[in-house]
Every structure is written in C-alpha cells, then in structure tokens.
Chain A
Amino acid sequence: MLESLLLAFLKIGLFSFGGGYAVLPSIQSEVAGPGWLTEDVFARAISIAALSPGSIATNGATLIGYRIEGLPGAIVATVGIILPSLILTILIAMFFYRMRDSKWMRYVLYSLRPIITMLILYAAIRLLGMDADIGLNWATIATLLIIGGAVFGMLRYKLHPVLVIVASGLTGIILF
C-alpha cells in the first residue's frame, strides 16, 4: 500500500507543472483511480490544504496520504511529491549556473520570463475564483479592497509581506 502510494505521488511530483492548483487535478485522478478516496473526502482535504500555510500541492499530498494510510502515508506522500522536483531543480540549477552567460540561456530566459509572469497572474486569478460566492456582493468587494490594499502597501510603502498578511487577517475579521 505504502509503495503504491509512494509511486503515485512520485508520478504526480514528476509531471506536475505550474505549481499549486495546477497540480490538484493530477492528484485527484491518481488517488481516485485506485479508489483510495471518495470525491467529498478529497475536496475537504484540498480545502484544508489551501487554508494551511505552505505549498498547496505539498499540503494536499500530506493530507491525502494521512487520510489513506495515517502518519506513514502522510510522510510517504509528501516525500513522493517533493523528491522529483527537488532532484530536477538541482539538475536545472546546475545547468543554469553553467550556462547562464551563454546565448541560448539568454534566449530561453527572455522567453520564459513573460510566460512565468503570466503563470503567476493566472494562479492569482484562480485563487480569486476559488471564492464560492463571487459576484457583486460585500464579500467580493471586501476581498478586492484587501487585494488592492496589499498591492498598494507592498509597492508604494515596501511593507514586509508578513505585515501585509497579518494586517489583512485583522482586516478580514472586521470586514467579513
């Protein structure tokens, strides 16, 4: 059981591009296939994973592993999803620093930068879309206000990100 869990999450880690929410569909298909989890247990685990600090994909793996096989399952799933990206990132970093000044690396970076910028923006849009009751209501307006305040505070006053997070949490208690 633990071995197939490890294999499943190694596979997810290796083929999950785009981070966070982009990884969730592949987790879902991998764990739904063998019938390890029902749909609603999966949804619940994912929403808690998104609420917890840290990477959503990794948290998702931890909680789903825990749900399937207890603490050993949680450890195996977490290691499984991280290991491929750790190894690949080390290889890429080695390559990057060796090739950094070459013409082709500059060409690749020229192309990658705008794409990754939009990938980040896309992740932000998806996160906004996660709010269940999006529309012209108080919750949406309050969220947009907080987003605007956070962006303004960080760009204009160079506020520390943690300060922004704490202030937004407090604002949330007042607004929602």
Chain B
Amino acid sequence: MFATMGDTAKKLTELFLIFLRIGPMTFGGGFAMIPLISEEVVAKRGWLDEKEMDDMLSVAGSAPGGVGVNAAAFIGYRRAGILGAITAVIGVTLPTFVIGLLFYLFYSLLEDNIKVQAALKGIHGAVIGLMVTTAYRMSKSAIFDRMTIGLACLSLLSLTVLHLNPLLVISCGTVIGVAYLFLEEKLGRRIATESRRKTKVKKEAIGPEYYI
C-alpha cells in the first residue's frame, strides 16, 4: 500500500518536473512542444513508442484547446491516470504563466532592444522548422495510400485556401476516411490502416550490421 503510494508520488513528481522543463523552452506555441515532448517521453524514457506518439498526437490534436496542453494531459494520463494528467498540465502551464506575465510587464524594455528582437526572430524561424519537422515525421506514418494522400491534400486546401474551421476539417475528414474504409471492407477489398513503410525502414537500419 505504502509502496504503491510512494510509486505514484514518484511518477507524479517525475511527470511534473519533465513538463515544467518543457514549457519555458518552447517558444512558438503548442506544436513546437511536440518534438521536445517526444524527445523526453519517446527517445529518452521509452514510455511510448513512435507510433503511439503519432496516434496520441492525432487524438490530442483533434481535442479542443492548445495542443501542448492536450499532449501533456494525454501523456500524464498514460503514465499515471487522471492525477497524472492534472500534474502534467499544471507542470506545463505554471512556468509559462509566470514568464508570460513577466514578458508582459517588461515588454517595454525588450521592445527597444535590437539584439533581443533579432534573437526572437531567429527563434521564430526555428519554431517553424520544428513544426515542419514534426509534420514531416508524422507524414511518414500518416500518408501512405491514395486515400490518405487525398485527405491530406483536401485538409491543407480547406485550411489555407478556403479558411475553413479546423473542427469542420477534422470532423468531415474523419467521416470521409472512415466511410471509405467501411465501403472498401464491404466490397471485400484488402485494406491497410497502417503504413508498411516503417517496418521496411527498420529492416534497412538493421541491414548494415550483417555486413560488419
């Protein structure tokens, strides 16, 4: 009993500290947090594998609210249940709450500093780069057949050209995709809901070892 309580407390503290660290380092909003979160929980700690991270991101991204907060809640829940979700969200929000207010209060000082402005512009570019990288990594498991290519093009067009509401794009796209798979299944065609490319990449990665 005490052992499990201690265990939970340890997990919660760990979660809190991880997300406390991630918050202040992510300039540029929630999507910029994703590579960092992925680095901490996939690469470093192995709590989730890459595929689960992609699925998590898909689901967290389609819930309302900021993606960073949602991803924190999701991973917190995965690690330590509801308390974990709450802990991770407080961890990710607390430092940025304080820093945001400080920024606001001292903005007049920062506004006139050319070097600070230049650094922020550089960081701005890096953040766009982080987001493009996230999208690229995700596209490898997300876009692999005619329908997923179609859904991707359709969503990008509806967002950029037609300026449709993201909720509308998410819900209509999901209905189209699910209906397509359902029809294909009814027609007796073989359907794949996962990309097969990943296993291929793994084989290639293992490949060279045979020659050493």
Contact = CB atoms under 8 A, between A and B. Distances in A.
Interface of A: 13-23, 45, 48-59, 62-63, 66, 74, 78, 81-82, 84-86, 88-90, 92-94, 96-97, 100, 104, 106-125, 127-128, 130-131, 139, 142-151, 154-155, 160-162, 164-165, 167-173, 175-176
Nearest to A25: B165
B14 interface: no
A63 to B, nearest CB: 5
Secondary structure dominating the interface of B: helix
Interface of B: 23-31, 33-36, 39, 54-70, 73-74, 77-78, 82, 85-86, 89, 92-93, 95-97, 99-101, 103-104, 107, 115, 117-136, 138-139, 141-143, 148-149, 151-152, 155-156, 159-160, 165-167, 169-170, 173-174, 176-178, 181-182, 193-194
Nearest to A106: B193
Given A19-B66, A55-B66, A89-B70, A111 B173 contact: yes
A124 B193 contact: no
30 contacts: A14-B64, A17-B62, A17-B167, A20-B30, A20-B67, A21-B29, A52-B100, A53-B25, A54-B93, A57-B66, A78-B93, A92-B60, A93-B85, A106-B194, A107-B178, A107-B181, A113-B55, A113-B58, A115-B152, A117-B135, A118-B156, A121-B156, A127-B28, A127-B127, A143-B125, A148-B129, A150-B129, A154-B35, A161-B25, A169-B122
B31 A123 contact: yes
Contacts, number: 368
B118 A172 contact: yes
Secondary structure dominating the interface of A: helix
Given A89-B74, A120-B138, A50 B29 contact: yes
A17 B139 contact: no
B132 A147 contact: yes
A104 B177 CA distance: 11
A109 B58 contact: yes
A119 B159 contact: yes
B148 A57 contact: no
A59 B100 contact: yes
A172 B126 CA distance: 10
A113 B138 contact: yes
